[in-house]
Structure formats: structure tokens, C-alpha cells
Structure 1
Amino acid sequence: MSTQRKPALTFLGAAGTVTGSKFLLETDERRLLVDCGLYQGERQWRRRNWDAPPVEPSSIDAVVLTHAHLDHCGYLPALVREGFSGPVHVTAATAELAAIILRDSAHLQEEDAENARRFGWSKHAAPRPLYTSADAERAIGLLQPCLPARVLELDGMTLSFLHAGHILGSCSLHLRGDDWSLLFSGDLGRPAHPILRDRERPLAARTVVIESTYGDRAHPDVDPDHTVMADAIRRTVRRGGSVVIPAFAVDRTEVVLLALAELVARDAIPDVPVWVDSPMALATLAVYRDQAHADEVDAHALDALASMRQLRAAHSAEESMRLNNPGRPCIIVSASGMATGGRVVHHLRHLLPQARNTVLLTGYQAVGTRGRDLVEGVREVKIAGRYVPVRAEVVQLEDFSVHADADELVGWLGELPEPPQTVHVVHGEPEASRALADRIRRELDCAVSVPRYLERVLLD
């Protein structure tokens, strides 16, 4: 007579750091990987992308993604290359956005490997990418959008997708078996998003896995007039300079453009050209505007974006290069949001040495990224193997985070129909995770852990 095992959860990522989300759920019936993220930021974490997977990929029956950001989906092509071939369950919008992001990531991986070979940046004689475009296409082919009801019946469990209000298609995941229940927050948005519908109330679960990106702090009060942004843009235009805004291609670009549209409409900033210089951001903007996702997007916000007379798109590399010396003040919105890669790095290389220019940093800047270095006031940054002086004005904007802060995370837990038995705090820098865990203990009186990498726990 066989003995039924207790379901177990293993933390394969986002443990001790804010990136690389991967969580393995094992039941008698199946192995399910929740999120399949890439490690970003400091080298110690990025190196982990190259380690052999701690679980045999071919043994995983399916993957479920909470959303399309790279630190939640970006390892998927490597997992496929190593043998995973099962379905990847996602929302419809996440399927579209993940395809855009994975293709871009593979292109950058291949480009970085080629540049390392050409310019001798690597210790290896023949540097190779973490994964190729072919790997990305195989991974994209496995994406399976859930039905409009957003509920799936899998072997021995029910999987529900709940709007998380973080980016288009983002969700919290609720999983329920015969005698256990588990809720993943995913990346939680704030109670009100400038463009997206509000997040949904969570379902009851005995075990909760919650992110802690901002687990040790509260966001400042939102300035609906975007005063800091407007002041910085006006100063820069008066100096004859340009403003470069590193912004994530997915959601952050749309939110930044909406703020700029509102400022122009109120005559709060000069009506200078606003360039979107990121093929991925332009593709993402089209997804946000697609009527297929109208139930998730605020139509008034899309109308405001459509009203921008000076909105420009830099499609080609030649158009992008011209923005390094535009000849007149302009605003450049370009990925990536932490200035770790993409076209924005080339703009920083040319614009940072000139005091007339300004860099506006939006949202969280992880340790080990150029964005974090600029926030901390470095005098030089390393770009393409060379140090570049930082003479431009650097301004951090606090108005654009679409991550819930500590108060909002605890508030989300408080919306559960009944208190959980156990909460696991993940996806944060150690100080933030510990602070949130301490607060949850005090306020909810339940068992709380900050899991270690590869730690395995049983589910109730």
C-alpha cells in the first residue's frame, strides 16, 4: 500500500535576493515550477544563471508564470535547452509580453557573447550566450494562455490566476489540492495603477509566498502633479540639454509616457520631442493598446497617450544613434530600467559626460546595476569596458513604482478571508525580507520564514 507524500515547496530562486524567481511545487501527481526567472544585478547572482539546474528540467511537468518580467520568465529558454518540454501556463497578455521579452533577451545574450569575443572581455576563448534565439523560440512555443475564466484543473490541483496589478497580465497564483492550499503573491502592484485595473483580493490559503521588494519601506505620497519630474525637465531644457529616462520596456515605459502626456497637456513642461527608443518598448506599447486586453487597461490612459503630438519612435539603430547628439532638447525613454543593457546604455555613454543633460531614474534600482550606482552618486560608470565620467544631473523619481510597499504588502495579506498558517517571504534584498517577516509576525501572529536558497518545506 503506497503512502501519500505531503506536498513540498523548494525555493530555487528569489531567496536572499530580489531576482531569479523560481519555486518548485511537488505533489504525488506532478512537479510544477512557479516562475522561471533570470538572475540579475550583482555578479554573484548572475553567475548562478550558468549553474547546472538544481532540478532535472525534464522531470518538471509544467511551468506557471506570474508575469512577463525577465526576473520571472527569463530563464525559460535555458530550462528548455536543458530538457524541459512541458506546457508553460500563463495569462493571455503574459504570453504576448513574454514572447517579446524572451526574443529581446536572447538577442542581447548573443550580442554580449559576440562583443566579448571581438573585444576580449571574456576569460573564455569562445564566449557563448546563456541561450540563443532558437532556444527562446522553442520556449515561446510552449506558452499556453489560460482560458478567460483564468482557472485550470491540473492533476490533483486547481490553479487560479488573480489580477495582481503590477504589469499587464500579471497575476497572483492560487493553488489548491485535496488537503492543502498555496498562494503566490507574484510581484504585487499598488492598490491603484495609473493604467491597469485594480488588483484582485486574494483567496484563502494556508501557505502564502509573498514578495518583499519594498518590504522595509513605505513609498512617499504620490505626487499627482509629478513636480520633481517637471522641474528636472524644465531645468534641462533651459540648459539646452536632453533628458534620458531608463525605463523598463514593459509597463514602466507606458506609465512614464502617461506622466509626460499629462505634463505636456497642463503646459507644465515644454512640448519637446519625446522619443521611445526601444524596439521592445514599442512592441509592448502595441500590446497595451490591443483591444484584446481592454478589460485590463484604462481607456482614458490610452487616450492620453494617443494625444501626444511630439511622441516619436526610434525604430532603427541609425535613429537611435542620432539621439546621442540630437541637436536640440528632447526626452529619450529607453530600456532597460536599471541601465543594465539595451539602447539606453549607449545614450548614457554619450550623455552622462555632459553637464547640461539629465538622467531621470524611475523605480527600484537593484544592487549591482548602473542605475543603483548612479543613485548612489558615483563619479564614473563602466560601460563597454571603459569608464565614463558622470557630469550630467541625476534625479531619482519616487512616483513610478508599481511594486507594493511594506504597508501595501501587509494590507494585501490582511485581505485574505482568513489568516494563513505560514508565510514565506521571498524576492527581496535580505534587509527588506527580514523587515517584512518581522512585521508579519507582529501583526498576523503566524509562522513566518525567510527561506534560504534550495530550502524545502512541507505544505499544510
Structure 2
Amino acid sequence: MSAVLTFLGAAGTVTGSKTLVEHDRRRALVDCGLYQGERQWRRLNWEPFRVPASSIEDVVLTHTHLDHCGYLPALVRQGFAGPAWCSRASAALVPIVLRDSAHLLENEAEWARTSGYSRHDPPLPLYTANDAERAIESLEVTAYDRPTALRSGGELTLVRAGHVLGSASALLEVGGTSVLFSGDLGRPHHPLLRPRAAPPAARHVVVEATYGDRTHPGDDPDHHEMAATIRRTVERGGSVLVPAFAVDRTELVLEALGRLRSEGLIPDVPIHLDSPMALKVLEVYRSSVAEGELAEDIETTLRALPRWQLALTADESRALNRPRSPSIIVSASGMANGGRVVHHLAGMLPDPRHTVLLTGYQAVGTRGRALADGAHEVKIAGSYVPVRAEIAHDEGFSVHADADELLGWLHELPRPPESVFVTHGEPSSAQALAERIRSELDAAVIVPRLGERVRVD
């Protein structure tokens, strides 16, 4: 019997990755991500799942970012009771991400209740810390390049994707066919990780298109623009706020800051790490869990990270909202849509001495995208905050494959696929990549609609 794919997320947008795989009345879900960004998408997080969660026998997680794993506690809450398969490093990182997500959701619901901001009475979180713990209990490790039998039938094989620690592409051989899900693909070179592995053969491919309509600008591996931004900010008496994802991005930012400081390219001002979550992630990067995935010189790189001042308590974090003297503050989240960085933005954006330095892709509908697009005001906690601070962007931190690199990955397949489904991109990105694939590969190329069902023979 043929397998059927249903695109339940990352179709028409770059977040919320979820693809249902069905055959012979059995069901598996590849990725289980939260929608982020525009409200029209975030509202879908609250919709009942398209099929009974209890009918899904397996979940496959390609990596640890919220838009790929953050919906798992909500699925568990609705009745999912099977294993959630992932790599060894992902199994160490996903608990950190889900616990933090549940904490933020509960805090947001409590703030909405006490402030009267919500239209719901009482406002409730999408899921709780208890739901997150139950989701964590569902994690099952499968090694790279080793076929694993799924409860729903067929086999799963993960291959290294080189995007963040533990990231993988997922090959499903099911229903007499094979489908390869790219997950988020890394670039050919990563400062901390080994390069991605060559993709295995598959009859059908689901490929991401985050950067499907562009190539990365000329590489600035030494981050000279970042150094210049920091220097001019400090010279005018301001501080630099760097929104950065706790998984991978914070580690890359710290590595760059340490190198720039040791070379005398930035002033010796305090560096504050306001992300206890990032510290936990860094410990995973330094642990034996990461063995086999890290670049050869990683020990030298990790030892060269700068000394930072960690803001552990809420009071220590609040003290950074309006810095009294020049400093660098690295805080989550990377698109400035949640976490402690939001409070720093509220305090620092109105002051023209300061700079907000964005690092990497900013999804449509996020606060980071609004700042990148030149917004004069942004909404924080129900009120508008004027943007007078300098907004800078260093795209040299991106670890997403660009359009040329995505095409290169497809060309590495041992034989051309019969069909390619382009997902996980804004509409313009997905269409642009689809056109390029169509011109270079002899395959059917589809940009699926949200909820679309496709039979793959």
C-alpha cells in the first residue's frame, strides 16, 4: 500500500514543522514544531490536532529548535503515547528546550492573568511543565546511520545534517517507498560542528527552504562588521544587545566575541550572558554526548570562549534592562519574540546610545523581523516601545544552508528523486527554490499547501 504525506506545518511559512506519514492505517509524525511569528500561524498551535494524537505511533524529531520539537508536549497532552525518536545529542538538548518553553508559557499565562491582558478567563498555557516532563519521557535515541524499526512499521535512519548539535535528516522507508526529510540543513562549514553527511538515496524528498530565495552574502568569518558595531556603540557610551538562540547561536556568538577581544578588535567591556538555558546547552556541547559531531579543533575553540558574567536571578536580569555603562548582553531568544531579551529590548530600544545586533534569520511576524525591516515602534507586553537604538545585523552567524547549498545537497543524492516537496520557507523562498530545483533536476517539484495530502508510491 502507498504511503501518504499530509503537510500539517511549515507549509506557507517557515515554522511549525509537522508532516504526517500514513500507510496501512498506521501513523508517524516527522517533526513536531511550534508555530512562531505571525498571529495567523501562532493561533494554529491552539487548534486540536488534525488526527487523534493517540493514533500516532511514532514521532521523529530532526533537531532541537522549537519550530521542530516545541509542540511535542501539546501532542502528549492530547494523547500521544509513543516514542519520539531523535539523535543522542538531541535527546540531551530537547529536555532543556522543552522545560524552558513550558516555563515561559506558564509565566506568560500568569502575567496575562494578573495584568488583565488576556481575553480568556483564566488564561491558560498551551502546555505545562508536567506536560513537558511527559514529553521528555517519550524521547528515544537512535544512532546516526543505523536503521531503526518504527512502531508504525517501516524503518527510520538518521543522517547528520550539520545545522546544530544533534541535527539530522530523516530517511523513512515505509509503505514500499522511501521519503527523505532534510530537516534544517547546515552549511558546508560550521565553526563548532563537523560538516553534514551526504544524503542517502530516496524516491521522494522533503526539503527545507528557509534561505531558498537567496545566497548568503560574502562570508565575514572574522565578523569585522560586528566588531565595528561594538566599537562605535561603546564609543557613544552605549551597550550592545545580542538576541541569540540558546542552542548553537549563543555558542557561536561567544566564540566570535572571544576571538575579537583577544585580537584587540573590540573593547574589553563586560560580557553578560543572560540565558541560564544557554549555559546548560553549552555544557552539552562540552560533554561526551557531543563526541563524533564536533569539529576537530573544538576543544581549543571552547577554551577560548570569553569570560562572562552570568545573570542567574530575575533581579540580575532586570539590572541589565537599562545598562549604566557600556557592555555586551547576549540573551535569548534569537528572534526577540520571548524570553529575557524582551525585557532588555523594552529598556534599551528607546535609547539611541544602544545597539541591538541581530544574528541570523528573522521569521516574518517576529519582533526581530520588525526591527530588521526598520520598524519605528515595536509592541512589547501590550504597549508600543519607540525604536531609537541602532539596529545592526550580522548574517555571518547563519548556519542554515542557502539556496546554492540546498541545491548542492540535492545533487549529492545517489540518484535523482522522483519528487521533491519544498517546505519550511516563506512563500517567496519556497517558490524560488522550487523553480531552481525544477530547472536542475528531472523530478516533480511541489510546494505543498497546509493540510495537503499526497500519495507517494
Matched residue, 2:274: 277
Matched residue, 1:410: 407
- Count the aligned residue pairs: 456
Matched residue, 1:306: 303
Paired residue type of 1:428 = G
Contact 1:261/1:304, CA 8 A, preserved across alignment: no
| Alpha-carbon distance between aligned partners in 1 of 2:207 and 2:260, rounded to the nearest angstrom | 35
Matched residue, 1:12: 8
Contact 2:20/2:30, CA 8 A, preserved across alignment: yes
Paired residue type of 1:32 = A
Matched residue, 1:108: 104
Paired residue type of 1:197 = R
Matched residue, 1:71: 67
Matched residue, 2:227: 230
Cα displacement string for residues 98-136 of structure 1 (whole angstroms, at most 9, x for unaligned residues): 101111111111111111111111111211111111111
Matched, 1:94 2:123: no
Cα displacement string for residues 308-355 of structure 1 (whole angstroms, at most 9, x for unaligned residues): 453222111121112223332111110000000000011111111111
How far off its partner does 1:244 sit? 0.3
Contact 2:177/2:203, CA 8 A, preserved across alignment: yes
Matched residue, 1:146: 142
Matched residue, 1:265: 262
Q: 1:160–1:136: structure 2 CA closer, same or farther, 3 Å change rule? A: same
| Alpha-carbon distance between aligned partners in 1 of 2:303 and 2:313, rounded to the nearest angstrom | 22
Matches within 5 A, 1:103-252: 103-147=99-143, 150-154=146-150, 156-177=153-174, 179-252=176-249
Contact 1:261/1:305, CA 8 A, preserved across alignment: no
| Alpha-carbon distance between aligned partners in 1 of 2:305 and 2:129, rounded to the nearest angstrom | 35
Contact 1:272/1:310, CA 8 A, preserved across alignment: no
Matched, 1:383 2:384: no
Matches within 5 A, 1:299-448: 300-448=297-445
Cα displacement string for residues 225-246 of structure 1 (whole angstroms, at most 9, x for unaligned residues): 2111000000011111110000
Contact 2:156/2:170, CA 8 A, preserved across alignment: yes
Q: Please point out which of 32, 38, 44 is paired with 2:28.
A: 32
Contact 2:143/2:158, CA 8 A, preserved across alignment: no
How far off its partner does 1:259 sit? 1.0
Paired residue type of 1:344 = V
Cα displacement string for residues 401-455 of structure 1 (whole angstroms, at most 9, x for unaligned residues): 1110110001100000000000000000011101111110011121010001111
Contact 1:60/1:86, CA 8 A, preserved across alignment: yes
| Alpha-carbon distance between aligned partners in 2 of 1:178 and 1:423, rounded to the nearest angstrom | 18
| Alpha-carbon distance between aligned partners in 2 of 1:423 and 1:412, rounded to the nearest angstrom | 13
TM-score by length of 2: 0.97
Matched, 1:46 2:42: yes
TM-score by length of 1: 0.97
How far off its partner does 1:29 sit? 6.8
Superposed structure 1 runs of 4+ greater than 6 Å apart: none
| Alpha-carbon distance between aligned partners in 1 of 2:296 and 2:233, rounded to the nearest angstrom | 32
Paired residue type of 2:251 = E
Cα displacement string for residues 378-411 of structure 1 (whole angstroms, at most 9, x for unaligned residues): 1111111211111111001110111101100011
How far off its partner does 1:30 sit? 2.8
Cα displacement string for residues 180-228 of structure 1 (whole angstroms, at most 9, x for unaligned residues): 1110000001111111110000001110000000100111121122111
> Which deviates more, 181-190 or 5-14?
5-14
| Alpha-carbon distance between aligned partners in 1 of 2:219 and 2:96, rounded to the nearest angstrom | 31
Matched residue, 1:59: 55
Gaps of 5+ in 1: none
Q: 1:180–1:22: structure 2 CA closer, same or farther, 3 Å change rule? A: same
SS of the residue corresponding to residue 328 of structure 1 reads: coil
How far off its partner does 1:41 sit? 0.3
Contact 1:201/1:415, CA 8 A, preserved across alignment: yes
| Alpha-carbon distance between aligned partners in 1 of 2:304 and 2:133, rounded to the nearest angstrom | 36
Contact 2:23/2:175, CA 8 A, preserved across alignment: no
Paired residue type of 2:397 = F
> Which deviates more, 284-293 or 126-135?
284-293
SS of the residue corresponding to residue 168 of structure 1 reads: coil
| Alpha-carbon distance between aligned partners in 2 of 1:308 and 1:446, rounded to the nearest angstrom | 46
| Alpha-carbon distance between aligned partners in 1 of 2:306 and 2:142, rounded to the nearest angstrom | 37
Contact 2:154/2:172, CA 8 A, preserved across alignment: yes
Gaps of 5+ in 2: none
Identity %: 62
| Alpha-carbon distance between aligned partners in 2 of 1:145 and 1:261, rounded to the nearest angstrom | 34
| Alpha-carbon distance between aligned partners in 1 of 2:255 and 2:147, rounded to the nearest angstrom | 32
Contact 2:144/2:157, CA 8 A, preserved across alignment: no
How far off its partner does 1:91 sit? 0.6
| Alpha-carbon distance between aligned partners in 2 of 1:256 and 1:309, rounded to the nearest angstrom | 10
RMSD: 1.3
Matched residue, 1:451: 448
Paired residue type of 1:138 = R
Contact 1:77/1:135, CA 8 A, preserved across alignment: yes
Contact 2:12/2:449, CA 8 A, preserved across alignment: yes
| Alpha-carbon distance between aligned partners in 2 of 1:169 and 1:315, rounded to the nearest angstrom | 26
Q: 1:330–1:307: structure 2 CA closer, same or farther, 3 Å change rule? A: same
Contact 1:249/1:281, CA 8 A, preserved across alignment: yes
